[in-house]
Structure 1
């Protein structure tokens, strides 16, 4: 598991394709969720929220993000004027009526990626700053061995040459630090969820 080809994302009938034709695919990543069924995407999202968050990430990841936020503050990359609704329009303005009327998913001040929509098998969040407008898409698909698995796609629209150089500069940090840490954290979230579900099922059986 791990990094996948672009077709692992483009070959799925995701609703996000309707909204991101002017974005490029930066990364596609998969996460092991052994034993997962077709209806367990909402449970996986909830498990990720419970175990996620920057405060619960490994020290190298927290340090990396602390440095990034410090640079952003010094150089003005993350000012409100550079964000969604200011420098770029939110993709929520592109949502068809059925997605616009659906609950988008929970947000909080500690989560820079803000919810676009959340469905039974996919969810999407967006963020923008002076460097890039980015979308994180999560999808739930049947894997090669019959179980369902979580897939993440990162779609980006860099802000000119500066944005493209920025994305190239941070690529090694994503592949060597951020994504491996996410993999460990999210796969652990699934294992904990599966363990609790199994334990509850055994406790309720006659």
Structure 2
């Protein structure tokens, strides 16, 4: 791919791709886009999704990242951010309610075992999962794209968000430095290690 594969990309790296998500989530804002260190062939998305959604793949391996997530869930429990009535199908409808017939009848994609993301749809080069709470409705989009050299493929992850009013906007702004300084860099390294271990096995 050239350069550091664990890199943040401009939003255009997501919006320029001919993905189906653009048609069903035009009211969501692209928050982050990252190149994933997961080199492979043209059919690697299913393997990547399986790794990310499995019990081991979804749980952050890095102790610092794991601690941050645990703090967030405990804080959410105390403040009521993650109550069922704030989630998908309650505070906000599922993105699946918007899907055209072919996507709705196609594979939904796996739910995350160790995170509150639920599969929305999966194609040969796209996987979308969603979660919602009192702060935000988030879509995780994982795509499978060609390398710049055209010799291979790799994963690309984007977070699309719809904050819940002013409170949600403040929350997203408040956690932004932590995401960039700690969560994403360590998450990328964890994804890379697991991908390499799986390839070696």
**Do the two structures share a fold, i.e. TM-score over 0.5?**
yes
In terms of mean alpha carbon deviation, does 150-159 or 63-72 score higher?
Answer: 63-72
Q: Report the equivalent of 2:12.
A: 7
Instruction: Give how far 1:178 is off.
Output: 1.3
| Number of residue pairs the alignment of both structures matches | 194
Answer yes or no: is the 8 Å Cα contact 2:35–2:157 preserved in 1. yes
Answer yes or no: is the 8 Å Cα contact 1:48–1:189 preserved in 2. no
Counting only pairs closer than 5 Å after superposition, residues 28-39 of structure 1 correspond to structure 2 as 28-34=33-39, 36-39=40-43
Structure 1 runs not aligned, ≥5 long: 197-206
In terms of mean alpha carbon deviation, does 85-94 or 176-185 score higher?
Answer: 176-185
Q: 1:25 is matched with which residue: 27, 30, 36?
A: 30
The TM-score, its normalising length taken from structure 2, stands at 0.91
- The one-character-per-residue Cα deviations of 1:15-46 (angstroms, maximum 9, x if unpaired) are 11111111101000011223x11112112222
Q: Report the equivalent of 1:165.
A: 170
CA distance 1:12–1:108, change in 2 (3 Å): closer
Q: Report the equivalent of 1:201.
A: none
Q: Report the equivalent of 2:145.
A: 141
Residue 120 in structure 1 maps to residue 124 in structure 2: yes
Q: Secondary structure at the match of 1:12?
A: coil
Please give the alpha-carbon distance, in whole angstroms, between the structure 1 residues aligned to 2:65 and 2:159: 18
Please give the alpha-carbon distance, in whole angstroms, between the structure 1 residues aligned to 2:129 and 2:52: 14
Instruction: Give how far 1:109 is off.
Output: 5.5
CA distance 1:184–1:17, change in 2 (3 Å): same
Please give the alpha-carbon distance, in whole angstroms, between the structure 2 residues aligned to 1:142 and 1:126: 25
CA RMSD of aligned residues (A): 1.4
Residue 131 in structure 1 maps to residue 131 in structure 2: no
> Hey, which bits of structure 1, 4+ residues long, moved more than 6 A?
none
Structure 2 runs not aligned, ≥5 long: none
